[in-house]
Structure 1
Amino acid sequence: MNIRYKKKRLRVNLFISIAWGVLVILTLFFSSKRQWFDYTYFVIFILYLAQYIYENKKQYLTIENGTISKNLLFQTKKMNLNEITQIKKFAGDYILKSKLEELTINTQIIDEDSIADLDAILEQLELPVNRTPYARPIDINI
C-alpha cells in the first residue's frame, strides 16, 4: 500500500523542474559565453526532475510485508510495524518509535485519502493505551 503525496506537492515540483529546464534552454541559446554557474542550472534542473519522478513513482510511504518505508530521494527509512513501541501525534506529525529508531511522518504533505489509510493501519497495532493516540477508552458500567 502506498501513502500518497498531495497532488499539489507533485504539481509544484513538476512546475519548478520545468522552470529550471526553461532556464537551462534559454541559457544555452541566448548566452554567447558560458560561465561555470550556467552548468549549475542544469544540475538543479536534473535534481528537481529526479525528485518529481521519484516522488511520483514511489510516493511518500510504502507499507508492505509488515514494514513501513519512508521514501526520500537519497534515503529510505524503514521500520517494522511489529517493532513500533509508541505512536505520538505532535504538531500534525506522527512519530513512530521503536527501541532503536524513530520515524517522523509529516501529515501535511499526505493526500487526505491516504491519511485515512495510514490511520487505519496504525490503529490496528496493538499498543498499550498510554502509548498510542488511537486507544479507545474503556467504558466500565457498574
Structure 2
Amino acid sequence: MLANLILGIVWIGLGVFNVWEAENNRWSDYGYLVIGILYVGHYLFDLKNQYLTIENGTIRKNGLYGFRKRINLNEINWIKKFAGDYTLKTEQKELKINTELIDKDSLTELNKILAELNLPPEKTPFANTVYN
C-alpha cells in the first residue's frame, strides 16, 4: 500500500521535472504525471477501503478498477494455507487472501470466522484451533 504512494510521488516528480525541463512539451511528456496520479489514487483508495469485507454471509476482496471478488461463506468447501496466505475454494470460485495486508485484530477475527465453517479436518488449517 505504501509502495503505491512512493511510486506515485516518484512518477509525479519525474513528470514535473520532464515538463519543466522540456522546451517543446509533447502530450507524452505528461504521461509521467498521469501515471503518478493513478498510483496516488490507488493508494488513497486502499487507504479508504478495507482489503476484505465480511457481511451478509459473504466475504469480498475489494479492489480498485472494479476488481472485486466475492464468495459466499456457506459455499466454501476447502481452505488452503500457504506461506501465511489463504486460498478459499468453492466449486466454481477461488479467492486468495494476502494476510500481510490485514490488521492483526482483523486477521484474528477472520481466522475465527473461517474456523467456524463446518469443514472436514483435511480441508481446513483450522481443524484443531479454538478461537475465543
* Structure-1-length-normalised TM-score: 0.79
Unaligned runs of 5+ residues in structure 2 are none
Deviations 1:70-93 (A, max 9, x none): 112120001111111111112221
Size of the aligned set, in residue pairs, is 128
Q: 1:81 aligns with which of 70, 73, 82?
A: 73
Is 1:111 equivalent to 2:103 in the alignment? yes
Unaligned runs of 5+ residues in structure 1 are 1-9, 138-142
Query: For 2:80 and 2:50, how far apart are their aligned partners in 1?
Result: 22
Query: For 2:6 and 2:43, how far apart are their aligned partners in 1?
Result: 10
Is 1:120 equivalent to 2:95 in the alignment? no
Query: RMSD across aligned C-alpha pairs, in angstroms?
Result: 1.8
Following superposition of structure 1 onto structure 2, how do residues 1-142 of structure 1 map, counting pairs within 5 Å?
10-74=1-65, 75-136=67-128
What amino acid does structure 2 have at the position aligned with 1:95?
T
Query: For 1:31 and 1:80, how far apart are their aligned partners in 2?
Result: 54
8 Å CA contact 2:52, 2:60 repeated in 1 = yes
8 Å CA contact 2:8, 2:40 repeated in 1 = yes
Deviations 1:21-44 (A, max 9, x none): 222222232322224532221221
Q: CA deviation at 1:54?
A: 1.2
Query: For 1:36 and 1:108, how far apart are their aligned partners in 2?
Result: 39
Q: Deviating runs (4+, > 6 A) in structure 1?
A: none
Identity %: 49
Where 2:14 maps in the other structure, the secondary structure is helix
* Structure-2-length-normalised TM-score: 0.85
